[in-house]
Amino acid sequence: MAEKMELREVEVWDGNHAAAQALRQVQVDVVAAYPITPSTPIVEGYAKFLADGYVEGEFVMVESEHAAMSGCIGASAAGGRVATATSSQGLALMVETLYQAAGMRLPIILNIVNRALAAPLNVNGDHSDMYLCRDSGWIQLNAFSPQGAYDLNFIAFKISEDHDIRIPSIINQDGFMTSHTAQGVATLDDDTAFNFVGEFKPMNDMLDLEHPVTHGVQAEEDWHFEHKARQHNDMMTKVMPKIEKTFAEFEALTGRKYSVVESYDMEDAELCVVCTGTSVETARVVATQLRADGIKAGVVGIRVFRPFPFEQIAAALDGIKAVAVLDRSAPGGAPGALFNEISSALYSRDNRPLISGYIYGLGGRDLTRAHLVDLYSELQANADAGKVLTPLQQFIGVRGPKLSYL
Amino acid sequence: MLEIRWHSRAGQGAVTGAKGLADVISTTGKHVQAFAFYGSAKRGAAMTAYNRVDDEMVLNHEKYMKPDYVFVIDPSLTYTADITANHKDDTIYIITTHLDRDELISEAPKLKGKTVYTVDCITIAQETIGRAIPNTPMLGAFMKVSKMYDIEFFKENMKRVLEKLPPKIVDANMLAIQRAYDEVK
């Protein structure tokens, strides 16, 4: 039996430590990992808990991130509770195997500590890696703070491991801004945390020798499409209700409420910023500050990125006059990734808002409250004019002449 | 909202100091945030760390800060780092130096007219802990200047924060905190 750890009601943890503690509390059986900044302390933390007797499991040291996820796939197919963590270049190398894990319906949990992609080499936080694997078939949940990084791990295990779901989950947290920022985290005691997720229940596990199964088969033109269609169908029809149910169960247990789309001050809002990660919380501070001056500012945070909350986004932004979508990734010759998806959710609505996009924060560049105050004033001008007065894509916080496109 | 910026060299313990301070403050029911700019994270490189403290949950994640306090835990950074960046009229500086306040200000004229306290955290750390790790003494000095908590309460809590260190090192840190509390001017 693993030893129990006494935790205080509120611990001051950074996002990495919060995620590592969650992996300990759900007693992950296997972590196969190849550490990379800024996610290293998550797997390092699990390894230390293991060495100190606080978890019963196995840490598999491998030679690359590709091998890390391959090891996770093997362990998950064998019938264990499995997790790992990575960032940036590591995730880029891992991507091929992400598609395998999702296609094989293995409920692995991956903590991604979001970081910029080289070149130029940069260890700081942006969302380029989040979008890199957006079509891999994984559920993606986004933390805005260390508390979120802790809570969403429990929620993710419970969703993914459900036998009706069997789809792996990614928990995103902002590199450094969450992963290395210590804040108060309200904890669960070990038994409560474990019982929320429950014992791992294997399904079609390779080590069940009474019932032999094959994993990772080939399916050409005859069956490949049916497999992919079923995978997509489950994402589109089964996952969101399961996420909502799990959020409700988590709230009943802890009092902490999560929503697929997080709306703040949106009841009578005219202007809205849509973003994800730590920026959501900074934007909330600014919206509150602007409310005091009579500006009807709101914020929508993307908590669930996959499956994409198409209906929920459209509902949250219904009747809003002007919306800004913030993308923390290099758009590579297109409108922003989030901008495109939000626009598609709004296009067929009768009451669609004016929408404009902003690229910000690449390689960890600070998003200041002053930036957001300026941004809301541009939205106010758009709302007053009844049309978007700026180009559709603007860069904020970048040195040199102001950049804008479209 | 109370905001603190630390100027340090990587390896001198500013991150541990900022997180330790946050931990102690959190036990009193306040909300805290502690973070750092790592840059290339090479030992000896100049770096900054930050604390925010508030009665409400800290939601602001911007790195920009107009600090209420600036802690300088490496003496040379007073001259080479922009320690007065984003200064406001009531910013208070606690600076590690072997000089007294007047000598320091004459050598670093950018501090003229500002509220400056001095304490020799490096010497204190060397004489108590045996290594030039000036983070915990700075917190002792901060307790004196800010009157945030009773020093005995603070030391008791720091003992818990440092509990993973060998008992001898913990005791030496307590001495260092007390000496800086007594010696800051």
Q: How far apart are CA B65 and CA B50, in angstroms?
A: 9
Total tally of structural domains belonging to chain A = 2
- A151/A294 same-domain check: no
A241 phi, psi to nearest 5 deg? -60, -35
Q: From the CB of residue B50, how many other CB atoms can be counted at a distance below 10 Å?
A: 20
Tens digits of residue pLDDT in A189-222: 999 999 999 999 999 999 899 999 999 899 999 9
* Per-residue model confidence (pLDDT) at position A243: 98
Is A204 part of any domain? no
Please tell me which of the candidates A184, A279, A367 has its beta carbon nearest to residue B32: A184
Indicate the average pLDDT of chain B.
Answer: 96
Candidates B42, B50, B61, B163: best to mutate against A (most CBs of A within 10 A) is B61
Is A290 part of any domain? yes
Architecture, CATH, for domain B2-183? 3-Layer(aba) Sandwich (3.40)
Q: Residue B38 pLDDT > 80, yes or no? A: no
- A308/A347 same-domain check: yes
- Please judge whether A183 and B60 are an interchain contact, meaning their C-beta atoms are less than 8 angstroms apart: no
- Please judge whether A366 and B19 are an interchain contact, meaning their C-beta atoms are less than 8 angstroms apart: no
* Whole-structure pTM value: 0.97
Give first-to-last CA distance, chain B, whole Å: 25
Chain B residues with CB-CB distance to A369 below 8 A: 60, 62, 64
Q: Residue B41 pLDDT > 80, yes or no? A: no
Residue A12's pLDDT band (cuts 50, 70, 90):
very high
- Read out DSSP for A263-316? EES-TT-SEEEEE-THHHHHHHHHHHHHHTTT--EEEEEESEEES--HHHHHHH
Q: How far apart are CA A371 and CA B53, in angstroms?
A: 23
Q: Residue B101 pLDDT > 80, yes or no? A: yes
Q: Establish whether this prediction's ipTM goes over 0.90.
A: yes
Taking the CA of residue B41 and the nearest CA in chain A, the distance in Å comes to 10
Expressed as residue numbers, the domain containing A152 is 10-186+221-254
* Per-residue model confidence (pLDDT) at position B37: 86
Yes or no: say if A76 and A82 are a contact pair by the CB < 8 Å rule.
yes
- A225/A272 same-domain check: no
Residue type (1 letter), A377:
S
H helix or E strand, kind and range, residue A166? none
**With an 8 Å Cβ cutoff, is B84 touching chain A?**
no
Tens digits of residue pLDDT in B78-87: 999 999 999 9
Tens digits of residue pLDDT in A357-393: 999 999 999 999 999 999 999 999 999 999 999 999 9
Q: Residue A253 pLDDT > 80, yes or no? A: yes
Residue A51 belongs to domain with CATH number? 3.40.50.970
Taking the CA of residue B162 and the nearest CA in chain A, the distance in Å comes to 14
Residues whose CB falls within 8 Å of the CB of residue B100, separated by 6 or more in sequence, listed in order: B118, B185
Q: How far apart are CA A107 and CA A138, in angstroms?
A: 9
Q: How far apart are CA A311 and CA A317, in angstroms?
A: 10
- Please judge whether A183 and B19 are an interchain contact, meaning their C-beta atoms are less than 8 angstroms apart: no
Ranges of beta strands (E only) in A77-231 are 82-86, 109-114, 139-142, 169-174, 182-186
Find where tokens 């297109």 sit: A334
- Residue A222 DSSP symbol: T
**With an 8 Å Cβ cutoff, is B54 touching chain A?**
no
Please tell me which of the candidates A8, A10, A177 has its beta carbon nearest to residue B61: A177
- A312/A226 same-domain check: no
A292 phi, psi to nearest 5 deg? -60, -25
Candidates A10, A12, A289: best to mutate against B (most CBs of B within 10 A) is A12
* Per-residue model confidence (pLDDT) at position A25: 98
Q: Residue A1 pLDDT > 90, yes or no? A: no
Is A200 part of any domain? no
- Please judge whether A182 and B35 are an interchain contact, meaning their C-beta atoms are less than 8 angstroms apart: yes
**Alpha helices for A309-393 (secondary structure H):** 310-316, 337-347, 369-385
Is A214 part of any domain? no
Q: Residue B105 pLDDT > 80, yes or no? A: yes
Domain positions in chain B are 2-183
A7 phi, psi to nearest 5 deg? -115, 150
* Per-residue model confidence (pLDDT) at position B39: 67
